[in-house]
Amino acid sequence: MTRLSHPFRTALALVLGALLAAGCADLNVPDFNNPSIGDLQNNPTRAGVITATQGLFVGARVNIATFNGYISELGVFGRESYNFNSGDTRFINELLQPGPLDGSSPRFGGNLWAERYANIRNAGIVLNALAKLGTTPPVGMTSTEQAAARGFVKTMEALDFLLVIDTRDSLGAPVDVNHDITNGPAPFVKRDSVYAFIVGLLDSAVADLAAGGSSFPFGFPPGFSGFTTPTAFTKFNRALKARVEGYRATLLACGAPCWTRAKSALDSSFLSVSADTVFKDAVDSLGTAAMLARGAYYDFGTGSGDVTNGLNDPTGVSQVGHPSLRTQADTQATGQRDRRFLNKVRTVTLSPVLGHSSDMVFNIYRSNVAHVPIIRNEELILLRAETEFGLGNQAGAAALINYVRVNSGRLLLRAGLDVAPADTVISQLLQQRVYSLLFEGGHRWIDARRYGRLLTLPAGVAGDQIYSAMPVPIDECTARGLANNCRP
């Protein structure tokens, strides 16, 4: 089932009604089209809170898989993809060429901001409603149910903050956003503080989930199958924390403390590896493939009020593979390229646009209702390899990198990786992440940046630029009395 059920479509109206930017919109303006938001803030009921909570699933996927959304634009920055949309050349002459990235453009430089903060604001509304909600059903929720709901909401809020800092990086971002706008726009804090805030949310959520009993008081969409109880959802929460701590370890150079926290989070996540260190059969097993794919996913559908997956583009109207995907792919013993490349990209007629060309389209999202990964087991295995290497266990890291090479790429073992120079191990780790996580969430760009390797990304056409962060949207600058492309 890929079509969201009626409660999720109802929740979409709530999300859209509360679509408010974090720093500059008046958060107290009445929503005459959706008076239930006012009721939720002032006189919450169990039914209203459930609807709003489920709406966070809907808000989480907004602008993730659109033709100019999170995966698409970060794919361009990270040289995973080009966007050859014939209606707008800014996908090339702004996102690739000297630009500059323009914070006044909500589809380009100023993109990937308002939707995230809208969902963060919705999460704040739900948390405030839970604090006012009675503890006696059927109008209220028991304290156990409320704890489960809080744990869920904080986790989803943390995910949105993570996507914000993924795009703005060293510019930082506001985090204290759930307050009356009459007190002024939320201040920007540094990247380090944003990560610390995210970790605080995730850890606080785990405490709530532990008190949340055996079930949630609301339903989950199919993409979260396997994470529908507080105990199981905690594993998703810990997976996100492992990602965040891995990012902190490389960006902040915090060393063993970050890697130790990442390892602890992985131990409590849904990470799993088959009994054999390396799967040696020449023929894949469905069990191994399913094990690597296991995770949490964004849902899409074609029903009324639903959203389709805009990355489904079989003819390459918008999304095409970057030429480096072919030239940099390793080869199997058979002489064929990495199986991940063969599975995820296919060849089409060469198409040139403004000096850029590609003869590849993505074969990952095979329908307009295909799920999009949030985080899955294959990433966790690579995070474990990264963590082991960060903690000095190079042999353990090498074994896991080879595990992914063989099981996912059908490549030969990389001999000597356990004693290779550090730079070689990191390069091999990042190579596996490129093909394992291809076009799933801007990982190539994020990884190159956090390892100080942005300039190693494929140069492309002469004059193309490698950007390290997207600018602050102009509305956020204006609210602070600053000019476009400000650094608050």
> Has residue 273 been placed in a domain?
yes
Report phi then psi at 340, rounded to 5: -65, -40
> Which residues of the chain carry a pLDDT beneath 70?
1-36, 275-286
Contact status, residue 32 vs residue 38, Cβ threshold 8 Å: no
Q: What angle do CA 470, 475, 477 make, to 5 degrees?
A: 70
Query: pLDDT at position 191, please?
Result: 97
Cis before 187? omega within 30? no
Please check whether residues 144 and 193 belong to one and the same domain: yes
> Has residue 358 been placed in a domain?
no
Domain that holds residue 291: 264-312+325-352+370-440
Query: pLDDT at position 62, please?
Result: 97
Please check whether residues 170 and 275 belong to one and the same domain: no
Query: pLDDT at position 381, please?
Result: 97
Distance in angstroms (rounded) separating the CA atoms of residues 222 and 456: 38
Locate tokens 């965040």: which residue? 244
Please check whether residues 281 and 151 belong to one and the same domain: no
Q: What is the DSSP letter of 236?
A: H
Amino acid symbol at 169:
D
Strands (E), 300-384: 319-321, 345-353, 356-362, 372-376
By CB atoms closer than 10 A (0-12, 13-18, 19+), residue 255 is: exposed
Torsion of CA 209, 215, 216, 221, to 10 degrees: 110
Contact status, residue 70 vs residue 319, Cβ threshold 8 Å: no
Report phi then psi at 39, rounded to 5: -60, -40
Number of domains the chain is built from: 2
Please check whether residues 237 and 346 belong to one and the same domain: no
Residue 347 to residues 191, 322, 344: CA-CA distances in angstroms?
A: 40, 12, 11
> Has residue 317 been placed in a domain?
no
Please check whether residues 275 and 211 belong to one and the same domain: no
Please check whether residues 21 and 154 belong to one and the same domain: yes
Q: Return the number of other C-beta atoms located less than 10 Å from residue 181's C-beta.
A: 18
Element (H, E) at 379: helix 377-390
Element (H, E) at 52: helix 46-61
Query: pLDDT at position 444, please?
Result: 98
Distance in angstroms (rounded) separating the CA atoms of residues 370 and 373: 10
Please check whether residues 223 and 286 belong to one and the same domain: no
Read off the tokens for 69: 């959304």
Contact status, residue 133 vs residue 44, Cβ threshold 8 Å: yes
Locate tokens 């394992």: which residue? 436
> Has residue 452 been placed in a domain?
no
Please check whether residues 44 and 181 belong to one and the same domain: yes
Distance in angstroms (rounded) separating the CA atoms of residues 194 and 157: 12
Residue 153 to residues 202, 218, 267: CA-CA distances in angstroms?
A: 10, 12, 23
Please check whether residues 283 and 134 belong to one and the same domain: no
Contact status, residue 280 vs residue 338, Cβ threshold 8 Å: no
> Has residue 360 been placed in a domain?
no
Q: What angle do CA 470, 474, 479 make, to 5 degrees?
A: 130
> Has residue 425 been placed in a domain?
yes
Please state the three-class secondary structure of 172-233 as a single string: CEECCCCCCHHHCCCCEECHHHHHHHHHHHHHHHHHHHHCCCCCCCCCCCHHHCCCCCHHHH
Please check whether residues 132 and 274 belong to one and the same domain: no
Nearest alpha carbon to residue 441 among 288, 292, 300, 311: 311
Q: What is the pLDDT of residues 69-121, one digit of tens each?
A: 999 999 999 999 999 987 888 999 999 988 889 999 999 999 999 999 999 99
Amino acid symbol at 420:
A
Query: pLDDT at position 4, please?
Result: 40
CATH classification at residue 60: 1.25.40.390
